[in-house]
Amino acid sequence: MDKFEEFQTTMAKSNELFTTFRQEMEKMTKKIKKLEKETIIWRTKWENNNKALLQMAEEKTVRDKEYKAFQIKLERLEKLCRALQTERNELNEKVEVLKEQVSGKVADTDPAPHVTQPCAALASSKEPHTARHSAAGVPAEAAPKAAKERLVVHKAASPGAGPSIESVD
């Protein structure tokens, strides 16, 4: 019976090893399933983050293009503003010169009939006429007064004329 007992002890040990091996296999299976779930979660998070990153990159390129367009518009507006300020200053100087001419010559001139000219004629003449008569046949002394009246009429006739542009300098 010695051999039978040896066989039984060997079988018992084998069963114990088999049972412990099975338990370890079950533990490992549970760990593997848990790790697979974590892998799926991490993969999903990565994919979502990757999509968000790509979307943000696209939005950044769009914003960069908009920024460049706004920079160009800003430069154009600044250039226009400077040009308008220069033009305003020149026109203010011309108005002052015309006021001085009119105030100096009002006492010297007799009342002459007022002849109105289109504003384009005023704008085309950069310098006051030095001849006795202007191009329209108006005496040179009356030309500044007529020009001043045209400016007043022009300002009153333009309904959208708002306050003047102030200097930004």
Positions of E strands within the chain? none
Whole-angstrom distance, CA of residue 1 vs CA of residue 127: 140
Residue type, position 163, single letter: P
Instruction: Indicate whether this model's pTM tops 0.75.
Output: no
Q: What is the pLDDT of residues 93-150, one digit of tens each?
A: 999 999 999 988 875 655 555 555 555 545 444 444 444 444 444 445 555 555 555 5
Count other Cβ atoms within 10 Å, centred on residue 112: 13
Q: CB of 105 within 8 A of CB of 144?
A: yes
Residue type, position 118, single letter: P
Coil, strand or helix at 111:
coil
Integer angstrom CA distances of residue 146 from 31, 90, 122, 139, 150:
100, 19, 10, 10, 6
Domain boundaries, the chain: 13-108, 112-158
Q: What is the pLDDT of residues 55-91, one digit of tens each?
A: 999 999 999 999 999 999 999 999 999 999 999 999 9
In the chain the first and final C-alpha atoms are separated, in Å, by: 117
Using alpha carbons, select from 131, 130, 127 the residue that is nearest to residue 94.
127
